[in-house]
Structure 1
Amino acid sequence: MSATYESTASTTMALIRPRLTDHHGVMAAQAELDFAIPFFDEDIPLYVDPFMLWRSPSQQDQALHTSLVNAFNHLGYLASKGEEDQAVRTLIAASECDEVGLGSSATRKGKRIGESKAREIVELFKRIPYYAQRGFRHFEEIQFFVDGISKDRISDISCSFLKSFLIDFTMQQCDKTGIPREPVDVENVYDYRKNAFETQRGLVLPVHPGDGRPLLFVPKRWLRFVPWQNCDEYFAGYCPQDEISHKPEEITRVDVLDYNRDHYGVIDAYIQHKERTFEDCKNDPLFSQIPVTSARRKFSLIKKLPTGKDDGADRKYEDAIGQLLPSLLYPKLDFAQEQARTDSGVSIRDLIFYNTASTQFLADMHKDYGSRQITMEMKNVAAVQREHVDQLNRYLAEELGKFGLFVTRNPLNKAVFTRTVDLWSGQRKVIITLTDDDIGQMVELFESRQRDPLDVIVKKYNEFRARCP
């Protein structure tokens, strides 16, 4: 690892759940961008569904789907010409695409399929007459015949065959948002003229600050949690279980896959149904706000909880706040995660938000207090104590900025509030408090849609600053 990457990595890793945009100081909300912002330490828990390209009104997406399916069907052509080994090698290369960072890996590194699994997939072109004669029209159909083909594998194969487009898309989005790029080599880029993967050298792309690996962006419009065509739905509603076994409750996945290979017509009927209902197929957002009714219920639960820890009241309070605030503050603040930390033997739970700087207030928090992320410490106590203020003060280091909030039940008493004013006077740190009444007002604004719930935080900040020297 170069000295440059070591330096940038240490800066980035001080953030909680760091993202590419935050590292480069691009203060943009996820909702405003056309791509899913890559994380450095983990995958994005969404997947490319190739059906989204097929059903898209965009001629470009439709053409990309055709190219994707043609590339996959070329494997069958190779097999028919006695070049099955080449087909297997190509499929193995396509089976993982680390550059996009989609899936469930905690390390952004996946594992390619083995040779035996690749041969089993290629064999479908010979085993099933329809594919031998016409090829696939949706290559994700392989999941209905081969065990171990999951949504992440379908996503990776799609991204691998579409990597050339993703490279161009990433460059375009970097130029649009101001994300820096560096010269880098990208392996396994599919060349449709040669029908083969090759390494492209000297491409200028964003890179991981820890090791310099290239990063590729994926359009949000392609992403889903579960493919439109999926085995669970097929098994539950379309698979003729009585024909497979007289004891449907004992049917295994392998039994279903074996049946499908010999009865392609059943799969074809399911695929045709999914094509007819394509208008119901929508991309999944990276974050979904809870409904207004759920917000009201969460706040009602909070109001009924006693302070303290009896009967798990503290955890119930933290869980309710943890579900409520990310929705109330979206999309002005992107939710990073709930963070547990320990201070002097005391376990503390925080809510961490990315500062998008999408309003003047948030831009000021970044400029004046260095807050690339905003920390909210949850306290289900009757009264916040001075030691609580000191704990949060220690956490507000240079990396996370000097602006933090308590989310608690009641206003600070005079002595504790004076302590927060002293921190402003001596260290120019801001600690404000959101009480039950404040949360209630935020819920009302969330329901009415006439003003932004973030305005409550702005009001609390202005009230605090008015009382500072």
Structure 2
Amino acid sequence: MRISAHYGLNKNQAQLDFVDVDTTDDIAVYIDPSSIRRLEGMWAEECQILLATFFDTVLDAVRHRDKGRVSSLLGKLSEPNETHLGVSRGKSRGRGMGKGMSNDLAEKLSSSQAAQTGLIEELEDTALFIEGVGKDIVSDITTNVIRGALITYTQAMCDFHGIPTETVHSGPVWNSASKAWEDGYTDLPVASHQKLLMVPKVIVRRSLHLSKEDYYRNHLIPVLQDEELDNPASQLVQTAKSGRRFVNRQDVRNFHGDSKPAVVRLSLERPEVYNHYKQVKRLAETAPLTNEQLAESGGGLPPDYDALLEAVLETPAGRDYATTYHHNIEALLSALFYPSLSMPIKEAEIHEGRKRIDIRYMNSSQEGFFRWLRQHHVASQYIFVECKNYSRDVENPELDQISSRFSPIRGKLGILTSRSFKNKDLFLKRCRDTALDHRGFVIALDDDDLQQLVNDVKRSLEPPTPEEIETGDPIVRPSRHEYSLLHERYERLVN
């Protein structure tokens, strides 16, 4: 039974910011530390600091040949069954950091030339150079190291959805300041007699961003082929009928080896190759799993955008239904804007609680409109949403309300939803006045606009038709993350 069903949330994966895992079994997705490094925002920065300080401390102990310190640091790593990520047979029990694995890893790292020489710099590098380390181990270690941040996130999600918690043992928590493990008690949800840690959808993947096979096949082998061609004594060089000299890729693999020790040796002899690979991978960002992919991995249903929109449209206008409208808008926007926007908080407090924001999202975009904002130097670490279920027109006071929540640190772009506008053009002009006065950018959306956003997203997800496949001339569909309506409204504010 998934978390949503266990707690009667009446929401599916598309409406939830966390991975809606089964409370007893695992699902085959993993936390990739590379995905965390690409996020912005305070929560992501905390995770980045935790990961950097922990692994730097481990590597420092390795390079000082302090095996006792290495064993002490890695000895606290355990099976993070409370996230229910990874692969196990039947009941979740963790196939990654099993019993004895932390001692084995400590021994392998301590004796690793890759770790001692600086070839290994980050946690995910171990999956390429340390025997027995793969995506499951890297995910488990990451979970252990960022457990404190995951506890904070889980508590926020429990508050958001009204999920009850109990006081339980926290498990080891890494302290980035003291560079030591701590533990104690904290409040977490408990299901099936086991505490739960919720994991944001934006940091899970089906595989790691760094891949030994990708590195070997696409970066090491071409270099080795060139070296063999330049070597007059090479036994791997062949000559084609045309006279062209070539080296077969499989021959290179057979001659040099492709085990992890072989990859370490070859990389230490050619450190520039791995450095280049890392640079290439930093530029080639991996997209978070879609709601459809997550639903498939967890055995759930894909998002029903029409049903989410219908819930908004059927909400009667007026103060009596303001809370329902707020709830339905959040469900719709969270599904529409994922993964560009994540980690929603309702009634987010600012100015020491003197002001509140209906919904605050973290801008976690890697492409599309919300990424474009950051690239064009629009303060947008967070995106604010104000929901107005009025039976009358929204006017200047409501516009001033949302703009007063802006700041260069938090962000200066928000979305104001309203049921309809008697004079929509006039209100859009008022939004432009706010922008021209340097008070921030407010994008106004009514029910018709929400319908257009839903239509655009659905169209972007349509598969090619049989006719398009047959002719090989598919229709160009809008990008899932482009949100052309938002872009048009923003352009109207500034031009």
Select 2:252's aligned residue among 238, 241, 248: 248
CA contact (8 A) 2:210 2:281 kept: yes
CA contact (8 A) 2:75 2:103 kept: yes
Select 2:205's aligned residue among 224, 238, 262: 224
Gap change, CA 1:249 and 1:449, over 3 Å in 2: closer
Fraction of identical pairs, as percent: 23
C-alpha distance in structure 2 between counterparts of 1:286 and 1:122, whole Å: 40
Q: Does 1:285 align with 2:290?
A: yes
CA contact (8 A) 2:62 2:109 kept: no
Aligned partner of 1:431 in structure 2 is none
C-alpha distance in structure 2 between counterparts of 1:118 and 1:191, whole Å: 20
Aligned partner of 2:154 in structure 1 is 170
C-alpha distance in structure 2 between counterparts of 1:78 and 1:249, whole Å: 34
2:278 alignment partner AA:
I
Select 1:32's aligned residue among 15, 18, 22: 15
1:85 alignment partner AA:
G
Aligned with 1:204: secondary structure?
A: strand
Shift in Å, 1:61: 1.6
Shift in Å, 1:128: 4.2
1:252 alignment partner AA:
D
Q: Does 1:273 align with 2:297?
A: no
Consecutive unaligned residues of structure 2, counting only runs of 5 or more, are 229-234, 237-250, 313-453, 460-495
Aligned partner of 1:71 in structure 2 is 54
Aligned partner of 1:150 in structure 2 is 134
Q: How do 1:17-416 and structure 2 match up within 5 A?
A: 18-58=1-41, 60-81=43-64, 83-94=66-77, 96-106=79-89, 107-110=91-94, 111-112=98-99, 113-124=101-112, 128-130=116-118, 136=121, 138-201=122-185, 203-209=186-192, 211=193, 213-240=194-221, 241-242=224-225, 246=236, 247-250=251-254, 251-254=257-260, 255-275=262-282, 277-278=283-284, 280-288=285-293, 330-332=302-304
Gap change, CA 1:264 and 1:200, over 3 Å in 2: farther
C-alpha distance in structure 2 between counterparts of 1:448 and 1:147, whole Å: 43
C-alpha distance in structure 1 between counterparts of 2:26 and 2:271, whole Å: 35
Consecutive unaligned residues of structure 1, counting only runs of 5 or more, are 1-17, 291-321, 334-354, 361-444, 451-469
Aligned with 1:187: secondary structure?
A: coil
2:71 alignment partner AA:
V
C-alpha distance in structure 1 between counterparts of 2:46 and 2:113, whole Å: 23
CA contact (8 A) 1:189 1:199 kept: yes
CA contact (8 A) 2:50 2:174 kept: no
Deviation sequence 1:212-258 (CA, Å, 0-9, x none)? x2110111111111111111211221123546995225233243244
Shift in Å, 1:57: 3.5
Gap change, CA 1:125 and 1:66, over 3 Å in 2: farther
Gap change, CA 1:28 and 1:285, over 3 Å in 2: same
C-alpha distance in structure 2 between counterparts of 1:160 and 1:449, whole Å: 38
C-alpha distance in structure 1 between counterparts of 2:137 and 2:457, whole Å: 43
C-alpha distance in structure 2 between counterparts of 1:71 and 1:103, whole Å: 22
CA contact (8 A) 2:53 2:176 kept: no
C-alpha distance in structure 1 between counterparts of 2:311 and 2:172, whole Å: 41
Deviation sequence 1:20-79 (CA, Å, 0-9, x none)? 221121111111111101212321211111111212233542442233122111012234
1:100 alignment partner AA:
T
Deviation sequence 1:357-392 (CA, Å, 0-9, x none)? x969xxxxxxxxxxxxxxxxxxxxxxxxxxxxxxxx
C-alpha distance in structure 2 between counterparts of 1:220 and 1:289, whole Å: 8
1:23 alignment partner AA:
H
Deviation sequence 1:82-140 (CA, Å, 0-9, x none)? 53222123224336322211111132212152523322123447854336xxx72x321
2:215 alignment partner AA:
Y
Deviation sequence 1:322-374 (CA, Å, 0-9, x none)? 9xxx99x73149xxxxxxxxxxxxxxxxxxxxx99x969xxxxxxxxxxxxxx
CA contact (8 A) 1:100 1:217 kept: yes
Deviates more, 1:46-55 or 1:244-253: 244-253
Aligned residues: 288
CA contact (8 A) 1:147 1:257 kept: no
Deviates more, 1:139-148 or 1:280-289: 280-289
Aligned with 1:105: secondary structure?
A: coil
Aligned with 2:150: secondary structure?
A: helix
TM-score (norm: length of structure 2): 0.51
CA contact (8 A) 1:21 1:179 kept: no
C-alpha distance in structure 1 between counterparts of 2:60 and 2:200, whole Å: 30
Aligned with 1:288: secondary structure?
A: helix
C-alpha distance in structure 2 between counterparts of 1:267 and 1:288, whole Å: 31
Aligned with 1:104: secondary structure?
A: coil
Shift in Å, 1:286: 5.0
Aligned with 1:93: secondary structure?
A: coil
2:136 alignment partner AA:
D
C-alpha distance in structure 2 between counterparts of 1:448 and 1:256, whole Å: 43
C-alpha distance in structure 2 between counterparts of 1:448 and 1:96, whole Å: 39
CA contact (8 A) 1:79 1:122 kept: yes
TM-score (norm: length of structure 1): 0.54
Aligned with 2:168: secondary structure?
A: strand
Aligned with 1:287: secondary structure?
A: helix
Deviation sequence 1:115-171 (CA, Å, 0-9, x none)? 23322123447854336xxx72x3211122112211111111111111000001001
**Aligned CA-pair RMSD:** 3.8
C-alpha distance in structure 1 between counterparts of 2:287 and 2:457, whole Å: 27
C-alpha distance in structure 2 between counterparts of 1:188 and 1:289, whole Å: 28
